[in-house]
Structure 1
Amino acid sequence: MARSKGFDPDRVLDSAMHTFWKQGYAATSAQDLCEATGIGRSSLYGTFESKHGLYMRSLERYAEAGTAGLRGLVEAEGPVRERVRRLLTSVVEEEASQPGLGCFVVNAQIERAPTDPDVASVGRRSRQEVVDALVWALRAARADGEIAADKDPEALADFVHAQIGAIRLMGRSRADRATMEHVVDVAVAAL
């Protein structure tokens, strides 16, 4: 009979995610992970294989939840400008509520993506899902006459997504809410 784990893997992933998110991959030691999760190294690595394995599972968990939330805002009912404003405002709210922390996916892209193809892949996938939702919404808005016929939905989607990244970096550098809200206003006006 197989022994059951003496811990909840989801709780461990959440604890590890917050540790990696706050400290980054390089600055997080195995001991940090053991302290944060409350389990020993052998259990940690027996379940997640390695520090990198635990990092990737944590990053993927964060990315899936965050991407689903952003897509949900874009795919909601209502005028496209209102949906884009809600999307960007939600990013401002996140950043304002946790000054200096930033977004785990963006932080990972800066720290690890240049040398870690697995991390780069998570960032590309997350970005593409949000951009695809934006393109769909903006095409529909153009077809309905909500935005000008000469506007390129793909270019606008890339632009809006770039503003998400900009707001995330502003939050990481502790920009004030008003400055981040200016980005939202200009981005919505560009539609």
Structure 2
Amino acid sequence: MARSKEFEESAVLEKAMRLFWEQGYEKTSMTDLVEHMGIHRRSLYDTFGDKHTLFLKAYNRYFDKVNASIAGEVKRSKTAAEALKFISDFMISEEGSGCLIVNSAVELAARDADVDTKSTVCFTETEQLLKEIIVWGQQDSEFTTDYDAGEMAEYLHNVLVGLRAMARTSISKEKLNRITDISIKLLEK
């Protein structure tokens, strides 16, 4: 007779996501995962497959959570500048582990086609969101039209990725906020 699962799949996936986020893929062992997730090794394999498959599921979970947080707040923003400020503040204030997407791209994308593809998709979607916000600001005469919205989105995304990496260090939040403020000012009329 088959045993029923003694854990909630979403909850243990959340635990795996946090562990990968804190330690990275390479440093996280199967033993670490079993202990941190609080499930048996066999249950981990039966439910999630191997470490790489579990990592990709955790990566997707992270991306979905971040997107939901950002999308909701952008929709509530009254101005394009307010939306950009929220996004950059989110990037700076996120937990000390930085961004799982950026961390994974740096650690794995050069040698892991799945992570490279997922990172590229995530980066493209972020740039599209930034472009939409910049177009909104241009249409409302909040931002200059001297620059192409798509090119400015690429530039801002690069700044945000840098901020996410810098946020993992002991660099002050004040400095990171100054970088954000200057980046938004470059868009203003």
Q: TM-score, normalised by structure 1?
A: 0.90
Distance 1:2 1:55 in 2: 26
Which amino acid in the other structure matches residue 41 of structure 1?
R
Residue 58 of structure 1 aligns with which residue?
58
Gaps of at least 5 residues in structure 1 are none
Distance 1:166 1:130, change over 3 A: same
Any idea what SS the aligned residue of 1:172 has? Answer: coil
> How many residue pairs align between the two structures?
187
Shift of 1:12: 1.1
Residue 34 of structure 2 aligns with which residue?
34
Determine if the alignment matches structure 1 residue 133 to structure 2 residue 129: yes
* Further displaced range: 33-42 or 65-74: 65-74
Contact 1:24 1:107 in 2 (8 A): yes
Which amino acid in the other structure matches residue 174 of structure 1?
S
Distance 1:159 1:91, change over 3 A: same
Shift of 1:50: 0.2
Contact 1:75 1:137 in 2 (8 A): no
Distance 1:180 1:77 in 2: 21
Tell me how large the CA RMSD over aligned residues is.
Answer: 1.7
Shift of 1:114: 0.8
Contact 2:81 2:137 in 1 (8 A): no
Which amino acid in the other structure matches residue 23 of structure 1?
Q
Shift of 1:110: 0.7
Distance 1:64 1:121 in 2: 16
Any idea what SS the aligned residue of 1:14 has? Answer: helix
Determine if the alignment matches structure 1 residue 85 to structure 2 residue 76: no
Contact 2:80 2:134 in 1 (8 A): yes
Shift of 1:174: 2.4
Shift of 1:15: 1.0
Q: TM-score, normalised by structure 2?
A: 0.91
Distance 1:49 1:89 in 2: 36
Structure 2 counterparts to residues 7-18 of structure 1, below 5 A: 7-18=7-18
Any idea what SS the aligned residue of 1:173 has? Answer: coil
Distance 2:68 2:130 in 1: 13
Residue 21 of structure 2 aligns with which residue?
21
Identity over aligned pairs, percent: 32
Match of 2:177 among 178, 181, 188: 181
Structure 2 counterparts to residues 36-185 of structure 1, below 5 A: 36-94=36-94, 98-99=95-96, 101-185=97-181
Contact 2:98 2:167 in 1 (8 A): yes
Q: Deviations over 1:44-97 (max 9, x none)?
A: 011111010111100110011112323334444422122211211122222xxx
Distance 1:185 1:134, change over 3 A: same
* Further displaced range: 47-56 or 61-70: 61-70
Contact 2:127 2:157 in 1 (8 A): yes
Distance 1:125 1:157 in 2: 15
Gaps of at least 5 residues in structure 2 are none
* Further displaced range: 115-124 or 52-61: 115-124
